[in-house]
Structure 1
Amino acid sequence: MNPDQGGVCQGIRNTLPAMASLNCDNDVVCLDGVDDTFGVKDAFRVIRLGERVGPWAYSKKLRGWLRNSLPDYDAVVINGLWTYHSFAVTSVVSQLRREGVTNLPRVYVMPHGMLDPWFQRQPSRRLKAYRNWAYWKAAEHRTVRHADGLLFTCRKELELAREPFRPYRPKQEINVGYGVPSPPRFTTEMKSAFLEACPQAVNRPYLLFISRIHPKKGVDLLLRAYAEMAGKYKTAEGVPLLVVAGPCDSAYAEEMKELARQLGLWNAMPSIEDGSKPQVTFPGMLRGDAKWGAFYGCEAFVLPSHQENFGIAVVEALACGKPVLISNQVNIWDEIQDYDACLVEDDSQIGTNRLIDQWLKLSAEARGEMGQSALQCYGKNYRPESVAARFISALSGA
């Protein structure tokens, strides 16, 4: 449940409080260290069984806990695939059934995008793709086949999950959606916290990228597109600042900083004498007030990702009334486009250039209308309360 790992644990934290408000109690069982709270106080019970071991995340305590505790629950959701926890649940349930235990819970699997064909087709993941294929044949297809159903975050994820592996025989495919809590109301403290973390944005309009700085996210495409647009729009206003917010402690993040330097977009030590201003800045990971200040203050959110199962940050931007500039590999792009709350292009250099260019050409009036549409899109599709109701309906077998 380490929040730095994003994705799955964030989705759980978004959904369970809304389910509790509908009188559905939940426990989370994980393989974190027994004292690892990561500074987070959750509103639901987290049962930490101890550190996992190795890349398979093996835990010698998990099977025993499952044997003793599964009959106490009405339903179990396996969040994610490819590690020991999914194998353990499937094998223990099968064993208990053979032993004649009848009061067992319904079991569902929520892949969280882990069955997306991108992971099998991406050249840089070739060895992992072979490993996943072998593991699917040996074990994971049974997890899917034996479960009472598969739960998906959006329609596109459900459709894509059918492509990469055989045999693929789920009993049910259910699009439950994904809830993202409403952001806190804007305060001046949020603006101050963001500008303290990112002083380059003082009195400047900016576009916001906030995510992991990872090859999958299309950061290189975005930087090159910015260099192209900076050369094209040589006006008094120029292009807005680009804020690339995310952990900067990886080798790839350093590569992206170097690329920004080479493109003339960023300098770690800008010259005060010549009055130059960076066109890109890397403030690191933004949290709390600084994060919300970044969302509320931006012109638009941008994510030209090569693969995005859902995109929590995309929906957070919508909830703040901000248009989103995204690739058509963000799986909810069509849902957002139905509300005219986004610009969408291919996840290519040409597509990303076009994405930024289209935004810069929009009038202030058109941008304002997109912002209003963003709020409507969030309200109709991504509030946790409506998603929790669908989730509970699915888990009850309705």
Structure 2
Amino acid sequence: MKILHVIPGLSPALGGPPQVALNLVKSLRDLGVDAEIATTNFDHPHPLDVPLNQRVDYTFGSDSSDSVPVWFLPFNPPALKEFIFSKALTDWCWKHIPNYNVLDNHYLFSYAPTCAAAIARWHRTPYTVRVMGQLTPWALAQSRLKKQLYSTLIERHNLNAAAAIHCTTHQEAAEVRHFGIKAPTVTLPLGVHAPAPNPEARSQLRAQYQISTDTPVILFLSRLHYKKRPELLLQTLHQLKQQNYQFHLLIAGTGEPDYVQQLKQSTASLGLTDNVSFTGLVLGAEKDRLLQGSDLFVLPSYSENFGIAVAEALICGLPVVITPGIQIASDVATAEAGLVVEGAEKPLGEAIAQLITSPKLRQELGERGRDFAKSQYSWCTIAQNLIPAYETIAKQKRRPCLDI
């Protein structure tokens, strides 16, 4: 069985979806499935420095064994957000898609998966689609008219013709149905890897950012985008500072330069310069050190189809403060692995204050979160559960009854 994953790009600037594709393909290959990726060389401000128009072993983790086969095709500038047109990818899909048993398309409203789905239908190759949170009410409200037109002309047909729609939560499956899609759904969470334990992470982190040992460290780890509401977190911490709470916030991630500069200006205007550090993009061992060395994780996002950064915090034993728009919030609340609060200054501030003043509560939540994430968010388990769906689709070569 040969599986092709199609995604607009693997740039860290595209947030969590590239990590999903890379980790899932690696886990499938570890289980004996011949899986690979077709994508573009998109990155910002310059394209990825990778070999083009050939299959390469692409290393994406801190370990050299973290590599998967990828076909990088050149994109055609200018890239319009995640749409990322590529004539080369179009030509490649026409030639190579018949060689695969199943396509697994990542993302909506984007050229690569849209193109791959249309060509797959022509060649009668079955495909699945990962909606990646693009059907939440919040996401559909962004660029609403463009998405309505795109949906009417292209996306609804792509989705309804899919062998299955991959959803990460039951809430996302309900959103697929609400969008009017009749194709079967497969509901599986995303996965995370537990990093190798680093007992020195806490002291290393404080030395690196010159934070005193008795100051609680708050971690915001995500793509820097207004959807994630870092401004709300800064405003909330401004209020806590006025009440004499001690803390240091690490804002880890990257985004549009103008937006990042705006966040830094807000930090200064709120009098938080000494309380906040912008780490920039963190990967590999540096990211692991942040997750293991901080005291709590906060993400007050408007909307997340899953919240991969939340799961990464949980598996590192980091207690989380999140909002209901993150679709694993109900699981976090049920597992008592964190605090789920409305996205407003008062409830967010109360939750953060509760955790920064109670090491015992942080430890209890963190331990429950680690146990929960290990049992629910294993990439190996997720890949094992996905393989039978691929096999059914490949054998039937038509839409099977797969709602699970």
TM-score, shorter chain, exceeding 0.5: yes
Q: Does 1:82 align with 2:109?
A: yes
C-alpha distance in 2 between matches for 1:62 and 1:264:
48
C-alpha distance in 2 between matches for 1:305 and 1:198:
25
Structure 1 residue aligned with 2:396: none
Letter in 2 for 1:259: S
Structure 1 residue aligned with 2:238: 227
Structure 1 residue aligned with 2:263: 256
C-alpha distance in 2 between matches for 1:133 and 1:43:
38
What is the aligned counterpart of 2:130 among 95, 101, 110?
A: 110
C-alpha distance in 2 between matches for 1:314 and 1:212:
13
C-alpha distance in 2 between matches for 1:358 and 1:314:
19
Q: Deviations over 1:71-106 (max 9, x none)?
A: 321211111111222332232233334xxxxxx3x2
Q: Secondary structure at the match of 2:67?
A: coil
C-alpha distance in 2 between matches for 1:81 and 1:50:
20
1:191 shift after superposition: 5.2
Letter in 2 for 1:75: V
Q: Deviations over 1:249-303 (max 9, x none)?
A: 622222222222222221xxxxxxxxxxx22222323333322222111111111
1:196 shift after superposition: 5.7
| Aligned 8 A contact 2:301 2:322 in 1 | yes
RMSD of the TM alignment (CA)?
2.4
The TM-score with structure 1 as length reference comes to 0.84
Q: Does 1:377 align with 2:401?
A: no
Q: Secondary structure at the match of 2:321?
A: strand
C-alpha distance in 2 between matches for 1:246 and 1:49:
26
State how 1:50-65 maps to structure 2 within 5 Å: 50-54=74-78, 55=80, 56-65=83-92
Structure 2 residue aligned with 1:18: 27
| Aligned 8 A contact 1:209 1:245 in 2 | yes
Letter in 2 for 1:111: V
Distance change >3 Å, CA 172–CA 21, structure 1 → 2: same
Gaps of 5+ in 2: 1-9, 42-46, 52-57, 393-401
Structure 2 residue aligned with 1:157: 172
Distance change >3 Å, CA 50–CA 339, structure 1 → 2: same
State how 1:30-49 maps to structure 2 within 5 Å: 30-32=39-41, 36=50, 40=60, 43-49=67-73
Letter in 1 for 2:216: P
1:172 shift after superposition: 0.4
1:12 shift after superposition: 1.0
C-alpha distance in 1 between matches for 2:117 and 2:224:
35
Q: Which has the higher strand share?
A: 2
Distance change >3 Å, CA 392–CA 45, structure 1 → 2: same
Gaps of 5+ in 1: 98-103, 267-277
C-alpha distance in 1 between matches for 2:21 and 2:361:
35
Percent identical across equivalent pairs? 26
C-alpha distance in 1 between matches for 2:299 and 2:102:
35
Letter in 1 for 2:298: V
C-alpha distance in 2 between matches for 1:131 and 1:150:
22
State how 1:128-139 maps to structure 2 within 5 Å: 128-139=143-154
The TM-score with structure 2 as length reference comes to 0.83
Distance change >3 Å, CA 34–CA 208, structure 1 → 2: closer
C-alpha distance in 2 between matches for 1:287 and 1:187:
19
Distance change >3 Å, CA 148–CA 311, structure 1 → 2: same
What is the aligned counterpart of 1:94 among 99, 118, 121?
A: 121
Letter in 2 for 1:350: K
Structure 2 residue aligned with 1:282: 278
Letter in 1 for 2:253: G
| Aligned 8 A contact 1:82 1:140 in 2 | yes
State how 1:182-221 maps to structure 2 within 5 Å: 182-186=194-198, 188=200, 190=201, 194-195=205-206, 197-200=208-211, 204-221=215-232
Q: Does 1:247 align with 2:262?
A: no
Structure 1 residue aligned with 2:157: 142
What is the aligned counterpart of 1:172 among 181, 184, 202?
A: 184
The number of equivalent residue pairs is 366
Q: Which has the larger radius of gyration?
A: 1
C-alpha distance in 2 between matches for 1:372 and 1:34:
38
Distance change >3 Å, CA 218–CA 241, structure 1 → 2: same
Structure 2 residue aligned with 1:100: none
